[in-house]
Amino acid sequence: MRAKVCIIADGCTKGDAISAAIAADCRALQASGEFDPFLLSEMCQVTIPHANIRGLRELVYHPRFVDADIRIFHFGFYSELFNACMLGKERVKRILRFHNVTPAEIVDPSQRERIEKARRQVAVVAKADEVWPISPFNGRTLAAMGFQVDLEKTLFMPITPLTERLDPRSKGGPITIAYVGRIVPAKGVHFLLDAFELLAARGHTDVELVVIGSTYIRGYAAGVRARIDRGRLKNARFLGRVSQAKLARAYERASIVAIPSLHEGLCVPVIEALYAGAIPVVSDTAALPETLNGLGRLTPVGNPVALADCLEEVIADIRGIRRNPDNATIRVERGTLSLDEYYAAVSRHLESFSPTALSAELIHRLRALTPSSSPSTGQWARN
């Protein structure tokens, strides 16, 4: 009999990073043949085994929760369901995949009450048998709150590339800066618009900007869109939420991906940008520096002038690459690199987010937690 794994989350939606991690875990467990995964959440838009439930009471009485050998909690936002981490029997292993919680002071006012509740709910971490942060930064965040965290247990979320592996030298056409992510205050999109306006004033009229992402904080997103649509930002386009195919094409066209966030627990678009041959320019805060790993540019958080200056330098490097692709160099946080050195360094960094490697590590860890499992046969001896 396969081990039963109950994955618990507030929701699993399309285009969301935590949801992508949930789906990746579920599919890796299915593919192994040793585990029987099932998601219990308040909503699910993704094609994985799941049931939608309403509240903690419905969760704890659900057969898939009761019968689970392993429960994996994907924590990144408040949900009553996460209080179930305090429940368990001796044989049930509880694993908390910690995605971090955005600081309340930088979120939209409509979200602050739930964010504050999520910060308090982090206390359920103390009840988990294992805590696996999805980035070292997230692990350090927990440690700073007083929890015992082994950073060696960090397990990155797998990131499936949206494009073929591309080289910066393959880019042509207009120099395009892309923003990819949720269009919310904490992502700092307004700082990017300020910086792009400065670039235009400095004469970079051949550079374009595209803004891509979900718009569920409607007032903020409407303000971003209105600012673009009013025409003050020439060569800027607001695309909003797009299909995976359109997002892949945007990455293929982009020379730069700018992420001016005020907080990130990992930041998937940085890795997607590196894979697609776009140079990331990101804020120097939270998990962004370690996700970037020196393979793009850091800019002071919340400073549109510094962001414009940094973008201007990267634009100059891109123009140099296009003039002389065989001998061009690029300035990144690691220093000035040849394009061959840069491409090789990016390739090594991308291995840390390989779906194949991380799926194998997930399976390995679950086997280690459950010594009664038999990897050779996929059988499970229940206590």
- Same CATH topology for 3-158+354-372 and 168-351: the answer is yes
Note the pTM of the prediction, 2 decimals: 0.92
pLDDT for 128 equals: 92
**Both tokens of residue 184?**
């919310």
* pLDDT, tens only, 20-41: 999 999 999 999 999 999 999 9
pLDDT for 372 equals: 59
**Whole-number average pLDDT of the chain:** 93
pLDDT for 97 equals: 96
Q: How far apart are CA 312 and CA 309, in angstroms?
A: 5
**Both tokens of residue 213?**
């992402």
Taking a C-beta distance cutoff of 8 angstroms, is the pair 269, 296 a contact?
Answer: no
Rounded mean pLDDT, 189-203: 96
Query: Quick check: 90 pLDDT over 90?
Result: no
* pLDDT, tens only, 326-351: 999 999 999 999 999 999 999 999 99
- Domain at 3-158+354-372, CATH from 3.40.50.2000, 2.60.120.370, 3.40.50.720, 3.30.1220.10: 3.40.50.2000
- 109 against 315, higher pLDDT: 315
Q: Parse the chain into domains and list their residue ranges.
A: 3-158+354-372, 168-351
Helices (H), the chain: 17-32, 55-60, 63-66, 112-121, 136-144, 189-201, 218-229, 244-253, 268-275, 288-292, 304-323, 339-350, 355-369
Architecture of domain 168-351: 3-Layer(aba) Sandwich (3.40)
Rounded mean pLDDT, 300-308: 98
* pLDDT, tens only, 354-367: 999 999 999 999 99
**Neighbouring C-beta atoms of residue 113, cutoff 10 Å:** 11
